Structure 1
Amino acid sequence: MTKEKDHLAEELPRAVLDPARLAAVADSGLLDSPPEGTFDDLAQLALAITGAQKAFFTVADGRRSFWKSAIGMEPAAGRENDIRDSPCHLLIGTGKELIAPDAATDTRIKDLAAVDALGIGAWAGYPVFSPDGYVLGGFCVVDKDARPFTPEQSQALRTLARSVSSEIALRQALRQARARGEASEALARTLQDSLLPPRLPDAPGLDVAAVHMPADTTGAAGAEVVGDFYDLFRTRGNSWCAVMGDVCGKGIDAAKVTALARYTVRAEATQHARPATVLHRLHEALVDQHVSDRFLTVALIVFRPDTDGVTGHYATAGHPPALIRRANGTVEELTAEGMLLSPLLPAAREGHRQRAFRLHPGDALLLYTDGITEARDRDRGPLFGEDRLAAALAATRGLGAADTLEALWQEASEHAGGHAVDDTALMLLRVAPRT
């Protein structure tokens, strides 16, 4: 190594100069590239959530921290600083987030030149990963004053950093597929899987399950990534959010809208307790960021488990109504007025209403996309429809969440002769029955 590299190696974590990591940085194509709306929008959202003054997405090689996005910085300030001056090298060294509520007294960063140069009073940074797991850089916010970051703000920032990593992975997968001259079924399925949570979390007192069933593509040129998605996550305290969405169409445009919807809902639900407000904020994001002209339908619930069930509120944006299966087997439709979401429509403040609901022990709530109600055979016979779905759900009285979804899919599949004309997503939340 040269003397300069020897000097760097003495000051920096070994991971910074790892040749494999540096190759991943170069392969990302992000160094010395112009600002982009996709990353700037995420940084703007970080400021809106935290109230901080500056937000950065940085990509770091062995010499510098390059600001791919730098919101709140004057253009004259440039777009990079020395890697030794930036807290970003600490994210690379540990692969973990770093929260410094008081930068002036935090021994990890107080002596870094960036603290004075950028006026850092408080700093919250999260690693951004390449598809093969190397830390490319960081996603961070800076406040001019010392201050804490709430658990809800930290969770939202963590989600936004993951969204940056997902965007990078999506781009790399597309580049590789195009270089091979193919749009393979494997790529489509990989992209689809990346838009669904790998495993639903355990919500207290609830039995939860979700499935995503692909359309029958027999005879088609190949699978395409579609816009069905779902998510379940804790928001604040003992509150939770469940969401089911369906983007019109398939392909990369659908994937972009789906990704935007997922990270926006996760971020906004940690800040707003009303599901109607979350949908309004999602609509604003679709209009402002306009990643595609495709419209989106969403059903969203915010709920709180207690010792005797679940209390919650439901809102929808043009999505099929939720169904509640009571413990005695009766099925109720849960409806709320709300227009679908589209970047071509103004995001009206009163465009969505919400409805309160209560689940008691043994009750279950079903969210679904219209792939199941539109199931039909190859001869274009009658649709499975909402009435058959409600009857099938009633017949599952007493079944757990996973068994209920299996029974519903089996019923719809038999009706359609095994032919699925569209992808289907189902999610069921069941309150544990009294023993």
Structure 2
Amino acid sequence: MTERSERPAVEIAALADPARLRSLTDTGLDAAPDEAFDRFARLVGDLLDVPVALVSLVTETRQFFPGAVGLPDPWAARRQTPLSHSFCQHVIDTEIPLVLPDARLYPRVRENLAVPELGVVAYAGMPLTDLDGRVLGSLCAIDRKPRAWTKAQLRTLADLAAACSSELRLRIALDAAQEARRLVEHAHDRLNLLASLSETLAGTLDVETAVGRLADAVVPLLADWAMVTLIDQGSEPRWVTAVHRDPARAAEAARFGELALRRLGPASITRTVLRTGQPVLRGVADLDDVRRASDAPELVTLAERLGFASHLTVPVPAPGRGAVMGAVTLVNGPDRRAFDDDDLATALEIGRRAGQAVGNGWIYGEQRHVAEVLQHSMLPQLPQSPWVELVARYQPAADRVEVGGDWYDAFVQPDGDLIAAIGDVAGHDIEAAATMGQLRNLVRGNAYARSDPVDELMRRLDATISGLRIPTAATAVLARLRPAPGGVAVTWCNAGHPAPLLITADGTARLLESRREPLLGLTRPVPRTGAQVLLAPGDTLLLYTDGLVERRDQPIDEGMAQLCERVTAAGARPAADLCDLLLGSEQRREDDVALLALRAR
């Protein structure tokens, strides 16, 4: 552009009116041909017999022509000019038609560059308005020579301008309708997100799983990438997970989270939210936010790669405590719209629901830890025996915090015999655990220093439970082991418990079936019978509770048959390895499991 074409435009305050500019934006028009508005320009050209006709819309810095005929090059291709070439801006300034027979005679416009560069001499422009009467531009007729505009021509131009204004208003209304629809859909998506998030988070009590699900739920629906931070009891970040919408950026997001855990300073937004419990929204952000947050240059590099143009961070409140247990950070890159107050409100609700889930997970974890410690404290230390190797295992059911009723015991008699027992008290609560402890102590009290057969010991146990009125229903296997020629002699009695498993030295397994007898704790005494077997060196007697073989979708007999098949397929292996193998199944267990393996040396 020549030096002459760089002449500054006259400043007109009305051009910068935010409401007017918003209406211009809502038309959805720009410096590109639009058939409807090109039609208006052609009609003006034909009906007024002018070489140039324009539908001109004016911003605070330029005018553009969605409808145009007769413009000279290069303006015909550009479909826009700076305000230094605009007569139409004066229509917006005065809000009335501008009619000039010869622009070169009017001081207000005679220096306008539209005269020499666009050839504008005669000009007639009618206001184009929105529904509120704001002038967005003009429908103008232009001649390259002086012209006396007739009343009929100006009336025709005014009628066409009114129709053109109606088209602009329709475009604005359609944009508003589309925006309203978008907002409704956006709100619907967010409601669905919150509903599905609640369901997703309620599906687990594991904190790590819950936080991972949370991050996956908000990306990419709400953000390009997200980071969830949890704190420890000292209010220090102890765990961070970060995810990105692009799987190719997953490693970089994870690295960002790893560095954020260790290198964020006290001035960082995350630590500020963790400290104050107040959310922070940066609708427009840059990498300086990351530079101020940490002394790690790599964080800045990673943020740039992941996309960092807008972000918000909200607290994860501890339910009912008024404290903060973490923070959720959402980040958008430059290609996505900036976060706003609606996003902040949604994120705050996400943080609240996350707080409930994480809080429940922490409470569950604490309770489960207490339950496991209590359970294991009630399990005995196995004795040492020169002729029997003893191995025991206990595994609580997944996702349960109650103390179970499964138990095992083994102790050496004064005469050298070994008494072994395993049992299961009905229930999974503190009462079942208490009863389990009582039952184990009764076994010891009734059997220690007695040489009675095991069926008699079991009968005495029945009588003791009944006499002391211990309210319980329990199963148990009681066994006595003693050295014998050729191995270890075992006599056992079974009170409603799964049959013991005999595993020979070569790994073959079979159930030791005996007479099925009632559970312990029945109101009327029942006769008890014993059975016996000889363990050759290397043979193993496996006692177990029903959690190892019982499933809701199959009879217990099938589970026991599968146990035999599994043990046989495993072949000969150390007793400890065998127990670990049996408990190492990937299948989710529905009940606690106790194992007691006794291998003849």
In the superposition, the TM-score normalised over structure 2's length comes to 0.37
SS in 1 for 2:392: strand
Please tell me whether residue 339 in structure 1 is matched to residue 339 in structure 2.
no
Name the structure 2 match of 1:357.
533
Q: What is the match of residue 208 of structure 1?
A: 390
Q: Which amino acid aligns with 2:370?
A: L
Query: How many Å separate the matches in 2 of 1:231 and 1:355?
Result: 19
| Residue of structure 2 equivalent to 1:246 | 424
Aligned to 2:508: 330
Residue of structure 1 equivalent to 2:470: 291
Give the greater-gyration-radius structure (CA): 2
Of residues 177, 187, 193 in structure 1, which corresponds to 2:376? 193
Structure 2 residue corresponding to 1:318, chosen from 496, 500, 524: 496
Structure number with greater CO (CA < 8 Å, separation at least 6) is 1
1:225 aligns with 2:403: yes
Q: For residues 425 and 192 of structure 1, what CA distance do their matches in structure 2 show?
A: 11
Give runs of aligned pairs for residues 26-425 of structure 1, distance below 5 A. Answer: 184-197=367-380, 199-217=381-399, 223-270=401-448, 271-292=450-471, 294-306=472-484, 308-348=486-526, 350=527, 352-375=528-551, 380=553, 385-410=559-584, 413-414=585-586, 416=587, 419-425=588-594
Deviation at 1:338, TM superposition (A): 4.7
SS at match of 2:426: strand
Alpha carbons 2:397, 2:593 under 8 Å: kept: yes
**Quick check: 2:474–2:521 contact (8 Å CA) kept in 1?**
no
Distance in structure 2 (CA, Å) of the matches to 1:205 and 1:343: 34
What whole-Å deviation, never above 9, does each CA across 1:25-75 have from its counterpart, x for those lacking one?
xxxxxxxxxxxxxxxxxxxxxxxxxxxxxxxxxxxxxxxxxxxxxxxxxxx
Does structure 2 retain, via aligned residues, the 8 Å contact 1:247–1:258?
yes
Alignment partners' CA distance in 1, 2:554 and 2:420: 33
Does structure 2 conserve the Cα–Cα contact (< 8 Å) formed by 1:191 and 1:255?
no
State the partner residue of 1:427.
596
Per the TM alignment, residue 398 of structure 1 is displaced from its structure 2 partner at its CA by: 2.3
Unaligned residue ranges in structure 2 (runs of 5+) = 1-362
**CA–CA distance in structure 2, aligned partners of residues 229 and 340 of structure 1:** 19
- CA deviations on 1:314-351 (whole Å, 9 max, x unpaired) are 11000000010112332222122253334442122x2x
CA gap 1:342/1:333 in 2 versus in 1, 3 angstroms = closer
Counterparts of 1:353 and 1:390 in 2: how far apart (Å)? 25
In the alignment, which residue of structure 2 is the partner of 1:153?
Answer: none
Structure 1 unaligned segments of length 5 or more: list them: 1-179
In 2, the alpha carbon distance for the partners of 1:184 and 1:332 equals: 39
The residue number in structure 2 matching 1:10 is: none
Which amino acid counterpart does residue 582 of structure 2 have in structure 1?
L
Q: 1:317 to 1:239 in 2, by over 3 A?
A: same
Q: Percent identity?
A: 33
**Tell me, what secondary structure is at the counterpart of 1:185?**
helix
* Contact 2:507–2:573 (CA under 8 A) maintained in structure 1: no
**Pairs aligned (count):** 236
Q: Is the 8 A contact 2:388 2:598 kept in 1?
A: yes
Mapped contact 1:207–1:400 kept (Cα < 8 A): no
Distance 2:569 2:437 in 1: 35
Letter in 1 for 2:421: V
Query: What is the CA RMSD across the aligned residues, in angstroms?
Result: 2.4
